[in-house]
């Protein structure tokens, strides 16, 4: 397929698109590079399957965060809203293997008491997780997107994840988990608010 006319390919907000033929050719090359025969029966469709998988794993490159946080309504709620244990799968940008775990996302609505749909918080997690990532940046991007769109009094994001690049290769420490947090607004300035949120997050 001519790349220039692949109008249906998903695009980043900046206009770049997922190049399926190029991804398939690269996977075929990789199979050759590791000493495999890409034409043997079991591998014939593998470049297509893997390209499709990457298209899905990096789908967040092609979505505008403001679209995801589009649903906002006035609830006049000025207390904490916290969604815990959101399952999260991302891809380590150093090794292109998974890091996965849970995300906890909380915010205190701003002056106008504006809230967003609860599912939208999980959608923001997905949007930034489905990119080549490092955990620290993923955590900050989720917090900053919520600040930008909802103008809340505070945002707290905590992610706990296991990195397969540390488990299945390299240092080989399966079970080691990494916790990152990003706090904005009230959660940064008030130790009490931050402590309350962290207490709720750590409760099982
Ligand atoms: N800070 C941070 N580091 C990460 C993340 N994901 C992977 N890493 C680390 O990125 C580092 C890359 O180190 P390099 O020395 O360039 O690569 P490497 O030789 O494959 O490193 P090893 O994993 O130690 O074998 C490793 O220490 C990984 O553990 C992440 O989300 N955040
Ligand atoms: Zn890694």
Q: pLDDT tens, 29-45?
A: 999 999 999 999 999 99
Looking at per-residue pLDDT, the higher value among 165 and 13 belongs to 165
Q: Where are the domains of the chain?
A: 9-62, 68-202
Tell me how far the alpha carbon of residue 200 lies from the centroid of ligand 1, in angstroms.
31
- Closest approach atom of ligand 1 to CA 138: 31
Pick the CATH number of 9-62 from 1.10.10.10, 3.30.2130.10, 3.40.50.150, 1.10.286.10: 1.10.286.10
Complex ipTM, two decimals? 0.94
pLDDT score of 77: 87
Q: What CATH code would you report for 68-202? A: 3.30.1130.10
Q: Is the pLDDT of residue 1 over 90?
A: no
What does the CA dihedral 22, 23, 24, 27 come to, rounded to 10 degrees?
A: 120
Query: Is the C-beta atom of 129 inside 6 A of ligand 1?
Result: no
pLDDT score of 6: 63
Q: What values do phi and psi take at 157, rounded to 5?
A: -130, 130
Give the 3-state secondary structure of residue 133. Answer: strand
Cβ count within 10 A of residue 29:
12
165 is in an annotated binding site: yes
Tell me the pTM.
0.93
Q: Whose CA is nearest to atom 19 of ligand 1?
A: 170
100 is in an annotated binding site: no
Mean pLDDT of the chain: 94
């Amino acid at each position: 397929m001519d790349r220039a006319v692949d109008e249906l390919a998903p695009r980043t907000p900046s206009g770049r698109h997922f190049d399926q033929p190029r991804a398939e050719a690269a996977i075929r090359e990789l199979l050759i590079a590791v000493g495999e025969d890409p034409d043997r029966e079991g591998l014939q469709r593998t470049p297509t399957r893997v390209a499709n998988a990457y298209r899905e794993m990096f789908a967040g490159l092609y979505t505008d965060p403001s679209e995801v946080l589009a649903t906002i309504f006035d609830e006049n709620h000025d207390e904490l809203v916290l969604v815990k244990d959101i399952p999260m799968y991302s891809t380590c940008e150093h090794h292109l293997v998974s890091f996965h775990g849970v995300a906890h996302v909380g915010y205190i609505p701003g002056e106008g008491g504006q809230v967003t749909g609860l599912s939208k918080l999980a959608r923001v997690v997905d949007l930034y997780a489905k990119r080549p990532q490092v955990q620290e940046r993923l955590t900050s991007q989720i917090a900053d997107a919520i600040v930008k769109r909802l103008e809340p009094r505070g945002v707290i994001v905590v992610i706990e994840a296991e990195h397969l690049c540390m488990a299945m290769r390299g240092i080989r420490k399966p079970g080691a988990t990494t916790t990152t947090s990003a706090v904005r607004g009230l959660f940064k300035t008030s130790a009490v608010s931050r402590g309350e949120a962290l207490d709720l997050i750590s409760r099982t």
